[in-house]
Structure 1
């Protein structure tokens, strides 16, 4: 399914654009990638049952999936901004992993020193390419 815009220009530059929305009113989640020089996302054969076939016009509504940088608390956003590697890896994660990190940090309500420590730990894990923190 071609995407007629540059997601880097419309949303924000990322290595991977995970999106959610609808296609002819049916929920869809996808990853926008490059195919033969065009941006788009792949649809499986099951979509034919929804009326999606080559050459047929469809209505598509897409938005970036999960929490984006602009949605983050200032301290988390600043930490990711200070570490481009961690920030880029965070942006590439599926929403499940991004939300997991954010819930872990938000679980420190009323304990600012613990929150700061967890943010630092999250940045280190992201820099190491870890999708989620090890369970202890």
Structure 2
């Protein structure tokens, strides 16, 4: 399924820490022209017409991971203007934090995208000292500093 990037999209995404708070769950996405090694993306997705952003993040987690979100807390909103595959994208992203139940496995976890594709889920350390892959939306992680 092709994504229409000709308009601004509204998304709701989750920073989901593991039990000891050392890492958070992200999808590991395939290489692109802009990110030849791939990239990480927060869990979540589009807000549907008539749906609140808090309901959207809960629905996306349920659909993608077959999980629920405990202790959902709103952090803020970020604007994400980016390029992927040579195309410009523009998103307004409502960012939340909360714990996944059940949590993805340490190894071999996956999520299912709306188009049916299966993407690996990994635990990205909050201390990103040795992390090679970028995380998107990048500005979302700065919202944790205000908590």
The structure with the greater share of residues assigned to strand is: 2
Write 1 or 2 for the structure with the bigger share of helix: 1
- TM-score w.r.t. the length of structure 1 is 0.25
Which has the higher Rg, Structure 1 or Structure 2? 1
TM-score by length of 2: 0.24
Q: Which structure has more RCO (C-alpha within 8 Å, separation ≥ 6)?
A: 2
